[in-house]
Amino acid sequence: MSKGAPGLRETAPKKRPQGGFRQAMAWLHTWAGLALGWLLFLIFLTGTAGYFDTEIDRWMQPELPPAQTHLNASNTADLLLRRLATDAPGAERWFLRLPDDRNQPYPGIFWQGASVEAGARAARGSLTLNGETGDMFQARDTGGGQLLYQLHWRLHYLTRTQADVIVGFATLFMLVALISGVIIHKKIFKDFFTFRPRKGQRSWLDAHNVLSVLALPFHLMITYSGLVFMAFSYMPLVVAAHYGFGDDARSQFFAEAFDPPGIEEAANETAPLVALDPLIAKAEKAWGSGRVRNIDIRHPGDRNARILLYESTNTSVSRTAGLMVFDGVSGELLHRVAPELSTSRGVRDLFVGLHEGLFAGPWLRWLYFISGLMGTGMIATGLLLWAVKRRQRAEKATGVENPGLRLVEKLNVGTLVGLPVAIAAYFWANRLLPAGLEARAAWEMHSLFITWAAMLLYGTLRPTKRAWVEQLTVAALAFALLPLLNALTTDRHLGASLSEGDLILAGFDMVMLAMGIAWAAAAWYLHCRWSPVPADQNATRSWVKPFAPARSAK
Amino acid sequence: MGLHGWRLFSLICAALIGGYLLAAAAGTFLAGVLPDFRGGSVMTGTMVSFAVYAGAIIWVFAMRRPAMAWFALVSASLLLATGGVFLGRGGL
């Protein structure tokens, strides 16, 4: 086959035959998918893990008690308020998080613009607190499930701007690959039920089609909502055209579009903050008991203080629910805002809500997780298909090694298996790094990237087929042994968590075990398929031969 | 006859850069003509712009003529952006 990117066929100026269009779309699908495929694999995989972010948090801090969602809202609010008064005096904003469901399992506080001279811990900060005692939890330092899922849009080591540009383009390429994929797909319904196993390229194509078509609504939703989520970073020009360039103009837009009503500038006259209890009682009367999720206090202790009570969002798909704005001195209810401020805001919140899936209960959460895995599998099979197809062609041609194909094959084994192994290494690091280690949480994430790099390197040093079987074996061990590691390093082993009915810790262990078994099955399957058989049979069956060095071909 | 080298590069740039310009311009135009309040219209325009971007990329690769793609995308962007800003100001 020819080296480099095959050319794109140009249509005659006037005539555009149907075949030409479909061919062009196939070219676009192939190259848009390949260009950022491995990055998209990372985005989908870590994003999918994010649907169980707080569950992973819990496993990574086994010292923590089960979720404290049973606490009384008024008592918790008083506890948090006392903590803010000592830790963040003189702040412009106090934010209280009340535990209401899996998304917010423990109480927490957050503050901005506090006065360090008056004794604040820092100008801004956030803390998770034990709702029983009001103290901080004594637990190991970890990035948890939060840092793992943030990887899918922050890319960890990059600045916000760099990550935005890269992830923005990856998401756009995903959207283009989805649209062009639907266009080139002739038998979208029939292929639903078509799977031809053990047929090399055919099987990969069928798998790619099934994974893509079955969860197509999810793929389209998650991709477009990803763009909408970051819309004003990716597409700042629309705001600039109507508000002007610069930070002030941008702030004006955000204030007009997003600020709740009734917020005032600080008057710089002190006035005592009203008690929260009657406000919470009023909100709970309207929304139901235990349904106040967040309390946002602007300018606490000022005459113009405002207290905003946010309703829990777990009964609506949209990201926003009810909101009440109170005068922070008199306690008067100033505004009661319905979930939808405007149609545009409603649409945006719906997209963002669908993307985050915070509303999802256990069953729907699993469906999210499985759809995310199908998206990850769609990307993986697409990348494999690219390589398998060209490997078959290259084998028909006379022994000329294509460096591009080799690179893709190495990146495939080093990422499609290497990255999951690296995520397992993130969990291993959480249990094995010493508790007192400086920057422990950062080292957990370094472990992930060091492992990924090691797996990529390993893939390049071994014959491709061997690398697949060996790395799959590593993956099987890395996941399946996690429950054992957990049992050896903590007292929260599977038996204990099962007998206590602690479904989150037990669930994590069991899912890791199940994944280990799945990796082992894949390793065993490939091992049997590729194990040494008489040489003549092997030649016809294999799709990836051990590579002959390029120079020997000349 | 295939599209290679500089012409292919030009086509890809037209899709990515020209497509972005068209998307931003279409968003600006939409934000200028929608009856919502200014912040809301701008939000809708921005959200819709990504669909325009994807559509523009598909169109460029369906047509496969770099010079034509650049010309059409840039001139349509200029028209839409100017119109959008003008109508947006008029509405204030």
Asked whether A358 and A314 are in contact (CB, 8 A), the reply is yes
Backbone angles phi, psi at A293, to 5 degrees: -95, -50
Please list the alpha-helical segments (H only) found in A110-159. 144-154
What is the C-alpha to C-alpha distance for residues A83 and A89, in angstroms, rounded to an integer?
10
pLDDT digits (tens, 9 = 90+) for B8-34: 999 999 999 999 999 999 999 999 999
Candidates A10, A224, A237; nearest CB to B64: A10
Considering only alpha carbons, which residue of chain B is nearest residue A31? B12
Per DSSP, A52 falls in state: G
> In what helix (H) or strand (E) does residue A301 lie, and over which residues does it extend?
none
What is the C-alpha to C-alpha distance for residues A57 and A143, in angstroms, rounded to an integer?
8
The pLDDT of residue A297:
96
The pLDDT of residue A433:
95
- Cβ of B3 and A7 within 8 Å? yes
At residue B58, does pLDDT exceed 90?
yes
- A128: its two tokens: 């998770």
Mutation target for B interface from A169, A172, A238: give the one with most B CBs within 10 A. Answer: A238
Give A293's contacts (C-beta < 8 A, 6+ positions apart).
Answer: A97, A98, A100, A104, A310, A311, A312, A313
Please list the alpha-helical segments (H only) found in chain B. 5-13, 19-33, 38-63, 66-90
This prediction has a pTM of 0.90
**Which 3-state string (H, E, C) describes A23-46?**
HHHHHHHHHHHHHCHHHHHHHHHH
SS3 at position A144: helix
Flag whether residue B79 sits within 8 Å of chain A, measured between CB atoms: no
Q: Please compute, for residue A410, the number of CA atoms within 13 A of its CA located in the half-sphere on the CB side.
A: 18
Give A482's contacts (C-beta < 8 A, 6+ positions apart).
Answer: A424, A427, A428, A509, A512, A513, A516
- Cβ of A342 and B47 within 8 Å? no
pLDDT digits (tens, 9 = 90+) for A502-546: 899 999 999 999 999 999 999 999 999 887 654 444 444 444 444
pLDDT digits (tens, 9 = 90+) for B40-50: 999 999 999 99
| Helix orientation angle between A440-461 and A144-154, rounded to the nearest 10 degrees | 60
pLDDT digits (tens, 9 = 90+) for A396-453: 776 667 888 999 999 999 999 999 999 999 999 999 999 889 999 999 999 999 999 9
SS3 at position A481: coil
The CA distance from A4 to the nearest CA of chain B, in Å, is 11
Which residues in B lie closer than 8 A to residue A228 (C-beta atoms)?
Answer: 47, 50
Give A433's contacts (C-beta < 8 A, 6+ positions apart).
Answer: A440, A443, A444, A447
pLDDT digits (tens, 9 = 90+) for A155-178: 999 999 999 999 999 999 999 999
Give A325's contacts (C-beta < 8 A, 6+ positions apart).
Answer: A260, A261, A262, A263, A306, A307, A308, A333, A334, A335, A336, A337
| Tally of CB atoms within 10 A around A89 | 17
Please list the alpha-helical segments (H only) found in A88-143. none
The pLDDT of residue A202:
80
Asked whether A195 and A203 are in contact (CB, 8 A), the reply is yes
Helix, strand, coil distribution of chain A in percent, nearest 5? 60, 10, 35
The pLDDT of residue B28:
96
What is the C-alpha to C-alpha distance for residues A200 and A207, in angstroms, rounded to an integer?
11
- A418: its two tokens: 């290497």
Which residues in A lie closer than 8 A to residue B50 (C-beta atoms)?
Answer: 172, 175, 224, 227-228, 231, 234-235
- Cβ of B54 and A25 within 8 Å? no
The pLDDT of residue A226:
96
The pLDDT of residue A19:
53
| Tally of CB atoms within 10 A around A303 | 15
Residue of A455, A465, A471 whose CA lies nearest to A411: A455
- Cβ of B28 and A228 within 8 Å? no
Mutation target for A interface from B20, B22, B43, B64: give the one with most A CBs within 10 A. Answer: B43
Exposed, middle or buried, A247 (CB in 10 Å: 0-12/13-18/19+)?
A: exposed
Cα-to-chain-centroid distance, residue A457: 26
> In what helix (H) or strand (E) does residue A269 lie, and over which residues does it extend?
none
The CA distance from A240 to the nearest CA of chain B, in Å, is 9
The CA distance from B79 to the nearest CA of chain A, in Å, is 14
| Tally of CB atoms within 10 A around A483 | 21
Flag whether residue B63 sits within 8 Å of chain A, measured between CB atoms: yes
Cα angle, residue A144 at apex, residues A102 and A496 outer, rounded to 5°? 70
- CA dihedral for A232, A236, A240, A242, sign (positive or negative): negative
- A362: its two tokens: 């256990």
Which residues in A lie closer than 8 A to residue B83 (C-beta atoms)?
Answer: none
Q: Looking at the predicted complex, does its ipTM rise above 0.90?
A: yes
Query: Within chain A, which residues score under 70 in pLDDT?
Result: 1-19, 187-194, 197-198, 339-341, 398-400, 532-554
SS3 at position A287: helix
* Residue A179 to residues A22, A131, A136, A175, Cα–Cα distance (Å): 12, 48, 49, 6
The CA distance from B43 to the nearest CA of chain A, in Å, is 6
